[in-house]
Structure 1
Amino acid sequence: MSEDNSKRRLGRGLAALIGDIEKAEPSEPATVQVTADRRIPVEFISRNPRNPRRHFEEEDLRDLAASVRQHGIVQPVVVRTIGEQRFEIIAGERRWRAAQLAGLSEVPALIRDVDDRTALEIAIVENVQRADLNPLEEANGYELLMAEHGYTQNDLGEIIGKSRSHVANSLRLLKLPEGVRGMLADGILSAGHARALISTPDPLALAQTVVQKGLSVREAEKLAQKAIDGGGSRASRPARQKDADTLALERSLSDRLGLAITIDHKSDGGQIKIAYSSLDQLDDICRRLERNP
């Protein structure tokens, strides 16, 4: 019961902790700032070491720093107290970094009293809601909440305002080899391209081909299917190219269920295969089928 209550509080907590900040538009002059609790020296503030966001574009930070020099910080950072005259960021690390680049000695801050768990949850959810994470950071954030705090995919979907299948598809990206995940984190490969490669025999080689040739997601899906069809004995299972409509249907169903879907269509019928990796996923499939007899 306490776990469920905590998860419900998280949704309300985001509004309570950072909701007021959203009222200020980035283009507003410094004179229309949201009222902060106090101004804190930048050296008294440290980042949340468990914030899922690891990558900050240098050019974006420089642009924000230039704006900060002209207008000041319009949106206060949100922090919590972690010791005497020491604070840890809950939300607003990018603004704090830009303030240092701009040469500011203090930043306006909202101070909130939250525990370690809530600080972690808010750091993850706040970044996801503001689309500040790359696909791999987002997936790692979901996995951290599920592994350490018992969240289900449905819980996360409800809290961040996205579908369960979106969460499931994000988590699937963690199955990719390190090389492909690096390309995804660097923005060289999109999440759509990466998902198409998950079930292939050599995702890294295909990812390099996709990038080098500048293939679209649909083209990457066709390339991936060729690799899958050609993975077995050519004598017993010749490679067969699926038509675009079948590939599109596979992708649509996969996105809806958050699981790998394979359609084997022939002139006189065919079969649909649903791949699952845990009993929880199997239970979820069964519940969905039972709800739609």
Structure 2
Amino acid sequence: MGKNTGLGKGLRALFPDDAVVVPSQKDEVLEVDVEKLVFYVRTNNVRPNPKQPRKSFDRIKLEELGASIKEHGILQPLVVKPETKGYTIIAGERRWRAANMIGLKEVPVIVKDLPPEEVLEIAIIENVQRENLNSIEEALAYEALMENFNLTQGEIGIRIGKSRTAIANTLRLLKLPQSIQEQLAQEKITSGHARAILILEDPAKMEAFASEIIEKGMSVREAENRIKKMQSEGLVKPLQQKKDNSSGYIAEIQEALERKFETKVHLSNRGKKGKIEFVYSSLEELDRLLERLGYEKEN
């Protein structure tokens, strides 16, 4: 299967319009294109993806989903990857967990034999689009994409449908001490609180301020005002202002080009001069890039 799997276009691209339901007794031997089929497999033959970005599942919400499944069935099939034994979930772990809770013996699935990076991308897309990840889980997922598959923040933004700035702001949360990351994951504080805490830079001051926010029930606005007061009193160094915004301008242009051409772009400038580099990893990507640039091959 090629790379053109509809990533970045939402989960709808994963489900074929002409899907066919196959009885469960035939789920082990199929002589048709399984990527256009919805069929039933035994629930215990399906296992979660160990790299699933979402780590916590609300039991009450799972029970509510289980009740809905008991009443109406699973309305949207799971997307799974075939393994030597059984299947690994690409999208739909909540449905699978809820099905297990109510003792459902079979679940509907669509099979997608995808490379590891696309499995992780789809798992992130599903959770981010449905707002199922907490901020730390989301940041860890982005970090995994960068470290495991050498993606830039701009490339992640293209796949997820968010700006490079939004990706960068989320990744900054991983600079928080572990205790504050846990408080954020447990929703004791919000991302807004966390961004205010990051200004303190010193881990000990961060932890003390996070405790103060929780104890006093501070709003984000109150936390920000508290930081400003500490800065005015000289207790916290004010953020250094850049002499110009050229780096921000270059970053915005780079992000816009990466979105337009759907490939990695490097911009560098020295004074009034600079260069733009387009990066491709295959001849197919080069052909697509040349087409978007308006280049026509000579016969």
TM-score normalised by L of structure 1:
0.71
**Is residue 68 of structure 2 the alignment partner of residue 67 of structure 1?**
yes
Query: Aligned partner of 1:285: which letter?
Result: G
1:51 aligns with 2:48: no
Count matched residues. 232
Moved over 2 A (4+): 5-16, 224-232, 282-286, 288-291
The alignment partner of 1:189 has SS state of coil
* 1:208 equivalent in alignment to 2:211: yes
Q: 1:224 — aligned with what?
A: 227
Please tell me whether residue 11 in structure 1 is matched to residue 8 in structure 2: yes
Give the match for residue 101 of structure 2. 101
Structure 2 segments unaligned to the other structure (5+ residues): 18-35, 255-271, 273-299
Deviation, structure 1 residue 206 = 0.6
Alignment-derived partner of residue 285 in structure 1: 248
Alignment of 1:110-129 (within 5 A): 110-129=110-129
Q: Does residue 273 in structure 1 map to residue 247 in structure 2? A: no
Task: Report the 3-state secondary structure (helix = DSSP H, G, I; strand = E; otherwise coil) of the residue aligned with 1:171.
Answer: helix
Give the distance between the partners of 1:218 and 1:274, measured in 2 at CA: 25
Matched position secondary structure for 1:79: strand
Aligned-partner Cα distance in 2 for 1:81–1:55: 25
Q: C-alpha separation between the residues in 1 aligned to 2:135 and 2:16?
A: 24
Q: How many Å separate the matches in 1 of 2:137 and 2:195? A: 15
1:135/1:289 CA distance change after superposition, 3 Å: closer
Find the counterpart in structure 1 of residue 188 from structure 2: 188
Q: Distance in 2 between matches of 1:8 and 1:158?
A: 14
Local SS of the residue matching 1:40? strand
Instruction: Give the 3-state SS of the residue equivalent to 1:104 in structure 2.
Output: coil
Superposed displacement of residue 14, structure 1: 4.7
**3-state SS in 1 of match to 2:125:** helix
How has the CA–CA distance of structure 1 residues 13 and 130 changed in structure 2, closer, same or farther, with 3 Å as cutoff? closer
Structure 2 counterpart SS, 1:193: helix
For each residue in 1:114-146, what CA deviation from the matched residue of structure 2 results, as whole angstroms up to 9, or x when unmatched?
122211121122211221100100111111111
Question: Do 2:10 and 2:125's aligned partners in 1 also have CA atoms closer than 8 Å?
Answer: no
Counterpart CA distance in 2 for 1:219 and 1:103 is 48
Task: State the Cα distance separating 1:224 from its structure 2 match.
Answer: 2.4
CA distance in 2, matches of 1:136, 1:60: 20
Shift of residue 41 of structure 1?
Answer: 0.8
Q: Give, in whole Å, the separation in 2 of the partners of 1:13 and 1:64.
A: 22
Q: Report the secondary structure of 1:109's partner residue.
A: strand
RMSD: 3.0
Show CA shifts across 1:233-274 (max 9, x none). xxxxxx89xxxxxxxxxxxxxxxxxxxx93xxxxxxxxx614
Deviation at 1:9, TM superposition (A): 5.8
Question: Percent of pairs identical after alignment?
Answer: 41
CA distance 1:227–1:76, shift in 2 (3 Å): same
Deviation at residue 173 of structure 1 after TM alignment: 0.4
Paired letter, 1:195: R
The secondary structure found in structure 2 opposite 1:273 is coil
Change (3 A) 1:113 1:177: same
Contact 1:128-1:138 at 8 Å conserved across structures: yes
Q: Deviations over 1:83-119 (max 9, x none)?
A: 14x1000000000000011110111111111122211
CA distance in 1, matches of 2:100, 2:248: 50
SS at match of 2:117: helix
Preserved contact between residue 38 and residue 110 of structure 1 (Cα < 8 Å): yes
SS of residue paired to 1:147: helix
Q: What secondary structure does 1:215 align onto?
A: coil
Q: Which runs of 5+ in 1 are unaligned?
A: 21-34, 233-238, 241-260, 263-271, 276-281
Alignment partner of 1:184: what SS? Answer: helix
Cα deviation, residue 288, structure 1: 5.0
Cα distance, 1:37–1:6 mapped onto 2, change above 3 Å? closer
